Structure formats: structure tokens, C-alpha cells
Amino acid sequence: MNTFFSFTGKEFRHILRDGRTMLILLVMPIVLIFLFGYAVSTEVKNTRVAVVDLSEGGSAAKLIGRIAANPRFTLVASLPSPDRLDKGFRTGQWDMALVFSPKFNLRPTHQEADLLMAVDGSEPNQAAVRAAYAQTLLLAPDEGRISPPIDLKTKWLHNPQGRSEYHFVPGVMGLILIIVCAMMTSVAIVREKEHGTMEVLLASPLSPSVIVVSKLVPYFALSCINLITILMLSFFLLDVPLAGGLGILLLVCLLYIAVALALGLLISTLAATRLSAMMTSLLLIVPTIYLSGIVFPIESMPAVLRHLSALVPARWFVSAVRKVMIQGVEARHVWRECCVLAIMFATAMSVGLKNFKTRLQ
């Protein structure tokens, strides 16, 4: 037991003395949370509109006024003719253009479009949402009139203000934990190989499991610190709710950390140098970014990628955390995710321990 403690103590010293890496590890989660919390957002906040009003007697003025008054839209230009619209779209001066034809009046004709709406479609999601906003706004009845034929009452559950950080926080957790646990652990083990100290450790009567576990414990602690930082920041600063039980959330997190640590061990048994350990962990980090639903929805991907994503631990973690934190579900709703993570842990750990040699070569 004493051996174990002093081994773990040594690992902590390694971490604490590598100032720059330590700083990056501790600051990275904070920077990411700030970026995702404040700067990176998918909300459609502002649409810049250019208007060409060719209608007779300014009959479109009312609708134009409605656009100008809406906080989602900013009227950036009022042009006499549609000629300059294209240039403005290309240089990014406006996102949407409304052209009211000379025939536009309050009595619509069915034959031809008397109001033309053009939207910059390069970013399709923003374009679709902008078009839908504008449509609804233009179609909405004037005050005092009746509502449209089918009145759509929409309710956004769990996130009524539609804030994107609710969605990003679990993703950031998934990413940070895999970097800290898998990448750092594998680098730490491989470092001993490079320094030649592994040779001495192996030639000692120390059992391999003690070596492995004492290597993992400090990174486990570090990821717990990261986890707490992220949770505190998101809860107190970003007002991301913690709708479900804290207990079940921690359980999911611990399971995920365990999987990531086991993967780190596995990588360290495969790599001979720190550089190759880092390259191998990139093979883990890249799918974590793209195939875990952190930013990109998995459901929209082609079948091959959807099946592939089932192999990415972060996918299950992010899904479970999102449910627990935002939707506030109970344990029985996330048992599937937990089981998958547990199986992944068992597999990675047993293969890792089996490959961890007690001899060289």
C-alpha cells in the first residue's frame, strides 16, 4: 500500500512540475466553456435585410415597418432597384432581400409573385430559419385581426429560450475528459518508456497492476477537477440547469472517465514514443469531435457513420449527460448508455492490461 501511495505521489509531482501542460489542462476547459457558452452559438440572432420597394404609393410601407421593428431583423438598406442586390449578397452586406413588385398592394393576386424574398442560402440552417421567421412575420395578421387559419402553438421543452450552450456543455465535457484521460495518460506511461525508467520498474518486483493503477489515479483526479470546474462554470455562470439528479450525473461521468482512462492505457501499450502516443490519441479525439453529436447531429448522418458512431464512447456519454442535465430524466432512461459505457470500459481495460507487458518487447 505504501508503494502504491508513493508511486501515485510521484505521478502527481510529474503533473505539477510540468507547468505549461498543467496550465493548458486546467485552462483549456475554462476557455472552451467560455467560447461555447458565450461566443459559439447556433442561434439565429440577427438578419440583415435589404428592401427594394417598387410598390405603388408605398403600400408596402406597413410590412417594411414591421420588419424594421422586429428585433430579429435589421433593415440595412433601402434600394431603389434590385440591381445592386447581388453585389451586396456577395460581399456579405445583407442576408436577405425583400423586393415588393409594382403590383404589390393589399389585395393579392394569385398569378405572380408580388413579393420576392431572397435569402443567402450558403449556410442552409440559418437560411431556413431566417426564411421561416420572415414568412411568419409577414403572414401574421395585423393587430386586431384574427389569427391565421391553423394557429401553431409551439412549446420548447427543457430550453424555452433556445440557448445553444445547453447543448454544448455536455459535449465540451466529453471532449475535455477524453483529452485529459486518454491522451495525457498514454503520454505519461510512454514517457517512462522513453526515459528508460520503465525498464527499472519492470525489473523490480512491482506488480504491473500497481504500476498501471498508480499511473491512472492522478489523471483520474485531474479529470475530476476539470469535471467540477466545467459543472460549476456552466451551472453558475451560464445558467445551464441541472435538471436531473446529481448522483446519476456523477455516475455517468465516472463511467466515462473510466472508459477514457482504460483507452489511455490501451494506447500506451501500442505506442513507443510520446509523439506516436499523441498521434494515436488523435485517432480517438477526431471521432469524438465529429461522431459524438457534440456539434453535429448524428441522426442526420448517413447510415454508415451512424453505426460507426456507436463505437465512440463520447456519443453515449454526451447523450446520457444531455438527458440527465437538461431533460432531467431518471436513471432508468439512461441505463442503455451506462451499459454500453460499462462494456467499453471492461473491454478496453482487459485488453490494455493484457497487453501491458512485464518484460520488454
Partner 1 sequence: MMLLNLVEKEFKQLLRNAFLPRMFLLMPLTMVLVFPYAANQEVKRLGLAVIDGDGSASSRRLTEKLKASSHFDFVGQTSDLTAADEEMKHGTVDVVLEMPAGFERDFANMGKTAVSVSINAANAMKAAMAQAYVTQIVNGYAGELIAEGHAFPSDTSHATRASSIVPRFLFNPSLDYKNYMIPAIVAMLLVLVVGFLPTFNIVGEKERGTIEQINVSPIRPAVFIFSKLIPYWAIGLFLLGYAMLAAWVVHGLRPTGSVGVIFLFASLFVLVISALALIVSNHSSTTQAAAFLMYFFLVVFLLMSGLLTPISSMPQWAQWLTLLNPFRFFMEAMRGLYLKGCTLADLAPQLLALCAFALVFGSWALLSYRKQTK
Partner 2 sequence: MINIDNISKNYDRGRIAALRAVNFSVNEGEIFGLVGADGAGKTTLFRLLATLLLPDGGRASVGGFDVVRDYRRVRRIIGYMPGRFSLYPDLTVEENLRFFAAVFGVKAERNLPLVADIYEHLQPFRTRRADQLSGGMKQKLALCCALIHAPRLLLLDEPTTGIDPVSRRELWEMLRRLNEERGLTIVAGTPYREEVLCCRRAALLREGRLEAVGRPDEILPPERPIGRQRSIGRGNPVIVAEGLTKRFGDFTACDSIDLRVEAGEIFGFLGANGAGKTTAMRMLCGLSEPTEGRAFVAGFDVASQAEEVKRNIGYMSQKFALYDDLTIEENLKLFGAIYGMKASVVREKTEQTIARQRLERERKMPVGNLPIGLKQRLAFAVATFHDPKIVFLDEPTGGVDAETRHRFWELIGQAADRGITIFVTTHYMDEAERCDRVSIMVDGRIEALDTPSSLKEKHGAASMHDVFFAIVRKQNPGGRTLPQHPTP
120 binds partner 1 (CB under 8 A): yes
Q: Which does 49 bind (CB under 5 to 8 A by kind): partner 2, partner 1, none?
A: none
Q: Which does 114 bind (CB under 5 to 8 A by kind): partner 2, partner 1, none?
A: partner 1
CA-derived radius of gyration, the chain: 28
Q: In this structure, which amino acid lies at residue 279?
A: M
> How many angstroms separate the CA atoms of 344 and 228, rounded?
24
Q: Which does 327 bind (CB under 5 to 8 A by kind): partner 2, partner 1, none?
A: partner 1
Cβ contact 321:292 at 8 Å: no
5 binds partner 1 (CB under 8 A): no
> How many angstroms separate the CA atoms of 322 and 294, rounded?
10
Distance of CA 300 to the CA centre of its chain: 16
Near partner 1 by CB under 8 A: residue from 71, 149, 196, 205: 149
Q: Which is nearer to partner 2, 150 or 360 (CB)?
A: 360
Taking alpha carbons only, the member of 220, 224, 160, 209 closest to residue 185 is 220
83 binds partner 1 (CB under 8 A): no
Cβ contact 184:274 at 8 Å: no
Question: Residue 256 corresponds to which cell in the numbers above?
Answer: 466515462
Cβ contact 319:164 at 8 Å: no
Q: Which is nearer to partner 1, 337 or 349 (CB)?
A: 337
361 binds partner 1 (CB under 8 A): no
* In the complex, least distance from residue 42 CB atom to partner 1, rounded to whole angstroms: 4
Question: Residue 323 corresponds to which cell in the numbers above?
Answer: 438527458
Near partner 2 by CB under 8 A: residue from 26, 28, 75, 202: 202
> How many angstroms separate the CA atoms of 175 and 216, rounded?
18
Near partner 1 by CB under 8 A: residue from 16, 68, 69, 113: 113
Name residues contacting partner 1, limited to 263-282 (CB under 8 A). Answer: 274-275, 278
Near partner 1 by CB under 8 A: residue from 1, 71, 83, 153: 153
Q: Which does 160 bind (CB under 5 to 8 A by kind): partner 2, partner 1, none?
A: partner 1
Near partner 1 by CB under 8 A: residue from 26, 30, 75, 131: 131
Q: In this structure, which amino acid lies at residue 7?
A: F
Q: In this structure, which amino acid lies at residue 235?
A: F
71 binds partner 2 (CB under 8 A): no
Q: Which does 232 bind (CB under 5 to 8 A by kind): partner 1, partner 2, none?
A: none
28 binds partner 1 (CB under 8 A): yes
In a 13 Å sphere around the CA of 49, the CA atoms on its Cβ side amount to 27
Near partner 2 by CB under 8 A: residue from 43, 123, 199, 239: 199
Residues contacting 156, CB < 8 A, separation 6+? 162
CA dihedral 137, 142, 143, 145 (to 10 degrees): -120
* In the complex, least distance from residue 197 CB atom to partner 2, rounded to whole angstroms: 5
Tell me how many residues contact partner 2 (CB under 8 A). 25
20 binds partner 1 (CB under 8 A): yes
Near partner 2 by CB under 8 A: residue from 13, 62, 158, 307: 13
Residues contacting 244, CB < 8 A, separation 6+? 323, 324, 325, 327, 328, 329, 330
Q: Which does 61 bind (CB under 5 to 8 A by kind): partner 2, partner 1, none?
A: none
Counted residue by residue, the chain has a size of 361
* In the complex, least distance from residue 6 CB atom to partner 1, rounded to whole angstroms: 25
List contacts with partner 2 (CB under 8 A): 2-3, 5-7, 10, 13-14, 17-18, 195-197, 199-206, 358-361
